[in-house]
């Protein structure tokens, strides 16, 4: 139960901070924010500060959040004389409001990385022999029947001492049938044939190795460097992974809210470092995902604003509304399908 509460808190915090980014930029540029909701569903509590137009509310299902800025509803005819409407603001204020959410996620990730670096950066030292710590769902290794605790002792006729040797052999054999010899519970099993997937031009079978974990505190300057570069490195890794999924026409590794919650619960059970680190990964994922140029996301809205920047005229509001509406429905559908898979798994 504590791990589940920690997962709910962590995910709620990240989506709330995302919306807080939109809220703060909207207020900085003088826009009227009507509602800041943490969660959705029945309202448990609400508060409207004196002389503030914003109702802050907490709802029963806390895994989502949203901010309602006046003038963002295309169904309403904006008052051209109301200076606090989103629709009446200049181009750059509207751009920054849409960037605010992803920027908040990246800032959160940077601050968490900075804190982790000051308290001790985790490093994993490979162990010998090559013992499987986990097997990726749907991977070639999983399909071949490999299990946690198995020891890989041979690959392609060569003995394996550790994960580096396994990676070296497997990496060169993407798409090629390869024989692996496994020991399980002290017994050597007959050789099995696995065809590694090709990911980012390297063969992988989808196993993680057991390792020895060490922590090393970093000086402030090094922590600051890591805080800046780590979100960038993680973003590039995410984009490369997404490109690989598109290339393979696969959805393995794509998670919905339930999948993320399960992952956070698992990491929370492993300790505070693992818990905070998974929040870093999810915060970066929220940041880059919302910047993708897809309808309904912040990145999709930025595409229309980029059109306005280039052409010096606004896109048709009705067309933009339809595009975002359709995109949002498609996105919700994908999330629903992934969530069903996560629940079933």
Does 255 have pLDDT greater than 70?
A: no
- Which residues of the chain does CATH 2.30.42.10 include? 125-213
**What pLDDT is stored for residue 345 in this prediction?**
59
**What pLDDT is stored for residue 7 in this prediction?**
82
**Burial (CB count within 10 angstroms: exposed 0-12, middle 13-18, buried 19+), residue 124:** middle
Q: What is the mean pLDDT of the chain?
A: 88
% of the chain with per-residue pLDDT over 70: 93
**Exposed e or buried b per residue across 40-60, where buried means at least 16 C-beta atoms within 10 angstroms of its C-beta:** eeeeeeeeeeeeeebbbbebe
Does 4 have pLDDT greater than 70?
A: yes
Distance CA 4, CA 103 (A): 27
CB atoms within 10 A of CB 322: 13
- Res. 343 pLDDT band, cuts 50 70 90: low
What is the rounded radius of gyration, in angstroms, for the C-alpha atoms of the chain?
24
Provide φ and ψ at 9, rounded to 5°.
Answer: -60, -45
Superfamily of domain 125-213, CATH level 4? PDZ domain (2.30.42.10)
Does 258 have pLDDT greater than 80?
A: no
For 5-9, 277-281, 307-311, 331-335, which range has the lowest pLDDT when averaged over its residues? 331-335
**What pLDDT is stored for residue 193 in this prediction?**
96
pLDDT mean over 282-303:
92
Does 340 have pLDDT greater than 80?
A: no
Q: Are the C-beta atoms of residues 132 and 209 closer than 8 Å to each other? A: yes
- Active site residue ranges: 19
Q: Are the C-beta atoms of residues 345 and 321 closer than 8 Å to each other? A: no
**What pLDDT is stored for residue 339 in this prediction?**
67
**What pLDDT is stored for residue 211 in this prediction?**
82
Does 299 have pLDDT greater than 90?
A: yes
- Res. 253 pLDDT band, cuts 50 70 90: low
pLDDT mean over 233-240:
88
**What pLDDT is stored for residue 256 in this prediction?**
65
Q: Which of 252, 274, 249 is nearest to 264 (CA)?
A: 274
């Amino acid at each position: 139960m504590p791990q589940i509460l920690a997962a709910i808190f962590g995910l709620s915090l990240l989506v709330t901070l995302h919306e807080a980014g939109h809220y703060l930029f909207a207020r900085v540029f003088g826009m009227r924010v009507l509602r800041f909701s943490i969660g959705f569903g029945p309202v448990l509590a609400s508060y409207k500060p004196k002389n503030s137009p914003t109702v802050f509310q907490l709802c029963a299902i806390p895994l989502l959040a949203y901010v309602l800025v006046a003038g963002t509803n295309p169904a309403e005819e904006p008052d051209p004389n109301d200076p606090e409407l989103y629709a009446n603001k200049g181009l750059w204020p509207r751009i920054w409001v849409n960037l605010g959410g992803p920027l908040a996620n990246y800032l959160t990730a940077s601050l968490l990385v900075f804190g982790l670096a000051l308290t001790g950066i985790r490093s994993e030292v490979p162990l010998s022999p090559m013992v499987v710590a986990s097997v990726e769902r749907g991977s070639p290794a999983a399909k071949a029947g490999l299990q946690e605790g198995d020891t890989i002792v041979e690959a392609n006729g060569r003995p394996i001492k550790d994960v580096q040797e396994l990676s070296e052999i497997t990496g060169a054999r993407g798409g090629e049938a390869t024989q692996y010899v496994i020991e399980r519970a002290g017994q050597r099993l007959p050789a099995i044939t696995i065809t590694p997937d090709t990911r980012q031009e390297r063969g992988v079978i989808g196993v993680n190795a057991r390792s020895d974990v060490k922590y090393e505190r970093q000086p402030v300057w090094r922590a600051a460097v890591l805080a800046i570069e780590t979100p960038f490195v993680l973003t590039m890794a995410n984009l490369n992974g997404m490109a690989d999924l598109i290339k393979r026409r696969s959805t393995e590794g794509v998670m919905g809210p339930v999948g993320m919650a399960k992952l956070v619960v698992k990491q929370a059970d492993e300790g505070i470092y693992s818990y905070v680190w998974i929040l870093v990964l999810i915060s970066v994922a929220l940041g880059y995902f919302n910047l993708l140029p897809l309808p309904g996301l912040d990145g999709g809205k930025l595409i229309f604003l980029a059109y306005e920047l280039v052409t010096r005229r606004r896109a048709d509001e009705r067309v933009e509304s339809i595009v975002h509406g359709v995109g949002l429905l498609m996105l919700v559908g994908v999330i629903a399908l992934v969530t069903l898979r996560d629940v079933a798994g």
